Amino acid sequence: MFDSPFSNYIVLTRNKTNESIKLDQRRVKLRENKNGLMALSYIGPLFEIMDLEDFFDDMISSEKLSMDISETGEFRVSFRGIIDGKGKNFPQNLDHKIILLQEPTCLDERVNIQETGFSKFKLKNEVSE
């Protein structure tokens, strides 16, 4: 293996209590849709899954977390839930959980305005030159 300046962990930290959990990236598959909903699919040993369930046990939906992937910098997410994963063809000592997180979206419409004019479509009530 080569030396990397990045860590092999995803760290989730509760903003209220500063409690955190480290997830090994080799066991995580991360998916995100266009609305910012992320699914962290985690397959790991039962004792790690139990720690994961304990970490999220008393967490309410929409509670704020900080997420740091490979020590590249924290960003805020909201907890949406934890569910059992499908595909129970794993050995007895492994389990599958899916953690649902939501990235905050920018509600300022000015951010989404296209200023360079690549589109032939115009906004309503806009006079073309």
pLDDT at 44: 87
Whether 121 is covered by a domain: the verdict is: no
The structure's pTM equals 0.71
Could you report the per-residue pLDDT of 83-123, keeping only the tens digit for each?
888 766 767 778 888 888 887 765 455 554 444 444 444 55
Whether 126 is covered by a domain: the verdict is: no
pLDDT at 81 over 80: yes
Number of domains in the chain: 1
Q: How far apart are CA 129 and CA 78, in angstroms?
A: 44
Whether 118 is covered by a domain: the verdict is: no
CATH of the domain at 37: 2.40.30
Pair 100, 82: CB distance under 8 Å = yes
